[in-house]
Amino acid sequence: MDKKPEERLMKARDGIEIFMTRNLIDRPKAVILIVHGICEHSGRYDYTASRFNDWGYSVYRFDLRGHGRSGGQRGYVESYELFIDDTDMVVNAARQENPNLPIFLFGHSMGGFISVAYGIKHQDHLSGLIHSGAAVMVPPAVKDLGGGFDYNAIALSPVPNSLSNMISRDPNVVKAYDYDPLVLK
């Protein structure tokens, strides 16, 4: 039987508080750690965590810094290395709490990019990677922005979130995304 999700804050090395949820089950086959996509938060993966639990896996998930209920400037990170460090902190917590279980990293979209980068840097920390629409290629729509584009000049400039119409064909999912107060706008 599934236990009630457990929520807690973890403190990153630089003092930023990272919000984490654990969906634990009795006698899991393995642990799956979910890394969400850009503008999202870990709460959008309640259904996914529930399904993984049904299939025999305990789930850890967290809000990336600047997202959801984690600290940090909304939608901004000084370096992607901080995302990788935060992921490592959660992986280490999962490993300490489940020393004899395999640990898999599940990354969606930007979370897929983060999990790929994590897997390259920390190959010995995981049993495997699972990706869903991983952002590991430059989309054709932005390919021409390379070259002389000055990313640093616009680093703190707000960019509207126009992802909702692309996340699902189900209008209820799109509506839930649009009205979710924790989704970055």
22-26, 45-49, 122-126, 179-183: which range is least confident on average?
179-183
Rounded to two decimals, what is the model's pTM?
0.84
Give the residue carrying structure tokens 């990272």.
18
CATH number of the domain bearing residue 126: 3.40.50.1820
Contacts of 126 (CB under 8 A, 6+ apart): 91, 103, 104, 105, 118, 119
Position 176 in a domain: no
Half-sphere exposure of 110 (CA within 13 A, CB side): 17
122 exposed, middle or buried (CB, 10 Å; 0-12, 13-18, 19+)? middle
Position 148 in a domain: no
CA-based nearest residue to 61, from 94, 28, 85, 39 = 94
Q: Is the pLDDT of residue 181 over 90?
A: no
Q: How many domains, in total, are found in the chain?
A: 1
Position 132 in a domain: yes
pLDDT average, residue stretch 150-155? 52
Position 11 in a domain: yes
Q: Whole domain around residue 58: which residue ranges?
A: 6-138
Position 179 in a domain: no
Q: How far is CA 95 from CA 89, 91, 153, in A?
A: 10, 6, 40
**pLDDT tens per residue across span 26-39:** 999 999 999 998 88
Contacts of 10 (CB under 8 A, 6+ apart): 17, 18, 20, 62, 89, 90, 93
Position 146 in a domain: no
Distance of CA 14 to the CA centre of its chain: 19
Q: How far is CA 179 from CA 55, 58, 139, 182, 183, in A?
A: 30, 29, 27, 9, 8
Q: Using 50, 70 and 90 to split pLDDT, how confident is the model at 144?
A: low
Position 184 in a domain: no
Question: pLDDT: is 139 or 172 the higher one?
Answer: 172
Per-residue model confidence (pLDDT) at position 1? 44
Q: Under the phi-then-psi rule, with left for phi > 0, alpha for psi from -120 to 50, and beta for the rest, what region is 36?
A: beta
Contacts of 8 (CB under 8 A, 6+ apart): 19, 20, 22
